[in-house]
Amino acid sequence: ISVEMMSMNGKIKIYDKNKLKFSYRNSNFKSDEFILEAKFVLESDSIENIKARTKENSSSRKENQPLRYRSAGSVFKNSSQYPAGYLIDNAGLKGLKSGDAQISTKHANFIINHGKAKATDILKLIKIIKQKVFDKYKILLELEIKTLGFKPNDIEKINV
């Protein structure tokens, strides 16, 4: 129905559904806005169907994603040729650690936090992933996550 947004300077704005535009990895939200609230109209269904879909979705995530650990989700966007996890895995990077951060052994497009990972640990792994995947496949992975407190070229400044 609507989305309530807040800009980095604290200004709150509500977008009506008719003003919202979405496409794959894109919307008309400004880059300095964060979603505070979204209102939806949901379809009614039987409890049995809802439980079955929930169980199916949950099982799939548990099977394919490292849900036991904290992470930011998928780190890189999929390339036009291959999923990012496939490229990272085939570059031999699953399990690589930096401090308390690690490239997941379950799904290579997740960087997990074993408890005390620092932002620089995660950025170091991001840089290694980007470099190794580029060296092997000539594909430059693009971040799916947004970083706060770092400039885009900060990743290049991390010493490997």
- For this structure, is 144 an active site residue? yes
With residue 156 as reference, give the H or E element that holds it.
helix 154-157
Residue of 25, 31, 43, 44 marked active site: 25
Tokens in use for 130?
């980007």
Residue of 4, 33, 79, 144 marked active site: 144
Rg (CA), the chain: 19
- For this structure, is 74 an active site residue? yes
Q: Is 83 helix (H, G, I), strand (E, B) or coil?
A: coil
Task: Identify which of 99, 144, 44 has the alpha carbon closest to the alpha carbon of residue 112.
Answer: 99
Place of tokens 């990272």: 88
Residue of 71, 74, 98, 104 marked active site: 74
Residue count of the chain: 160
- The set of catalytic residues is 25, 74, 144
